[in-house]
Amino acid sequence: MIAVDEKGFYGNFGGAYIPEMLHPNIEELRDNYERIVAEPDFQAQFKSLLKDYVGRPTPLFYAQRLSEKYGAKIYLKREDLCHTGAHKVNNTIGQIILAKKLGKKRIIAETGAGQHGVATATVCALMGMDCTVYMGKHDMERQRPNVERMRILGAKVVPATSGSQTLKDATNEAMRQWINNPVDTHYIIGSVVGPHPYPEMVARFQSVISEEIKAQLLEKEGRENPDLVIACVGGGSNAAGAFYHYYNTPEVRLIAVEAAGLGVFSGKSAATTALGKPGILHGSKTLLMQTEDGQVTEPYSISAGLDYPGIGPVHAHLFETGRGEFVGVEDEDAMLAGIEVSRLEGIIPAIETAHAFAALNQVKYKSDDVIVINLSGRGDKDLDTYIKWGNY
Ligand SMILES: *Cc1c(COP(=O)(O)O)cnc(C)c1O
Same domain, 120 and 217: no
In this structure, the residues whose C-beta lies within 6 A of any atom of ligand 1 are 86, 88, 115, 191, 232-238, 305, 350, 352-353, 376-377
Distance from the alpha carbon of residue 275 to the mean position of ligand 1, in angstroms: 20
Please check whether residue 370 is in contact with residue 364, taking contact to mean a CB–CB distance below 8 angstroms.
no
CA distance 18 to 112: 21
Domain membership flag for residue 145: yes
Q: What is the atom index within ligand 1 of the atom nearest the CA of 193?
A: 7
Distance from the alpha carbon of residue 127 to the mean position of ligand 1, in angstroms: 24
Q: 274 is in which domain, residue-wise?
A: 55-85+207-389
What pLDDT, on the 0 to 100 scale, is given for residue 278? 97
User: Among 202, 217, 240, which residue terminates a domain?
Assistant: 202
CA distance 55 to 6: 34
- Residue 283 burial (CB count, 10 A): 24
Same domain, 173 and 317: no
What pLDDT, on the 0 to 100 scale, is given for residue 168? 83
Same domain, 256 and 130: no
- Residue 41 burial (CB count, 10 A): 10
Same domain, 69 and 158: no
Domain membership flag for residue 10: no
Has 88 been annotated as catalytic? yes
What pLDDT, on the 0 to 100 scale, is given for residue 366? 97
User: Among 186, 202, 218, which residue terminates a domain?
Assistant: 202
What pLDDT, on the 0 to 100 scale, is given for residue 170? 93
Same domain, 242 and 356: yes
* Sign of the dihedral through C-alpha 97, 102, 108, 113: negative
Consecutive H or E run containing 186: strand 185-188
User: Among 202, 233, 264, which residue terminates a domain?
Assistant: 202
Same domain, 287 and 194: no
Smallest CA-to-CA distance from 259 within 170, 326, 349 is with 326
For the chain, what is the domain count? 2
Same domain, 186 and 76: no
What pLDDT, on the 0 to 100 scale, is given for residue 222? 98
Domain membership flag for residue 13: no
Neighbour-count burial of 223, counting CB atoms closer than 10 A to its CB (0-12 exposed, 13-18 middle, 19+ buried) = exposed
By alpha-carbon position, which residue is closest to atom 10 of ligand 1?
352
Smallest CA-to-CA distance from 17 within 164, 173, 199, 270 is with 199
Domain membership flag for residue 5: no
By alpha-carbon position, which residue is closest to atom 14 of ligand 1?
305
Distance from the alpha carbon of residue 364 to the mean position of ligand 1, in angstroms: 24
By alpha-carbon position, which residue is closest to atom 13 of ligand 1?
377
Domain membership flag for residue 129: yes
Q: Which of 77, 88, 100, 285 is catalytic?
A: 88
Same domain, 66 and 189: no
By alpha-carbon position, which residue is closest to atom 5 of ligand 1?
234
User: pLDDT averaged over consecutive 10-residue blocks of the chain (392 residues)?
Assistant: 87 95 93 96 98 98 98 98 98 98 97 95 98 94 92 98 87 92 94 97 98 98 98 98 98 98 95 95 95 90 91 98 98 98 98 98 97 97 94 87
What pLDDT, on the 0 to 100 scale, is given for residue 182? 85
CA distance 243 to 252: 9
Distance from the alpha carbon of residue 371 to the mean position of ligand 1, in angstroms: 20
Domain membership flag for residue 141: yes
Has 376 been annotated as catalytic? yes
Distance from the alpha carbon of residue 20 to the mean position of ligand 1, in angstroms: 30
Q: For position 254, which CATH number holds?
A: 3.40.50.1100
Please check whether residue 258 is in contact with residue 233, taking contact to mean a CB–CB distance below 8 angstroms.
yes
Domain membership flag for residue 11: no
Q: Which of 67, 79, 100, 110 is catalytic?
A: 110
Q: What is the atom index within ligand 1 of the atom nearest the CA of 85?
A: 13
Same domain, 255 and 363: yes
By alpha-carbon position, which residue is closest to atom 7 of ligand 1?
237
Domain membership flag for residue 385: yes
Please indicate, yes or no, whether the overall pTM of this predicted structure exceeds 0.95. Answer: yes
Same domain, 229 and 364: yes
Same domain, 235 and 274: yes
pLDDT tens for residues 291-326? 999 899 989 999 989 988 999 999 999 999 999 999
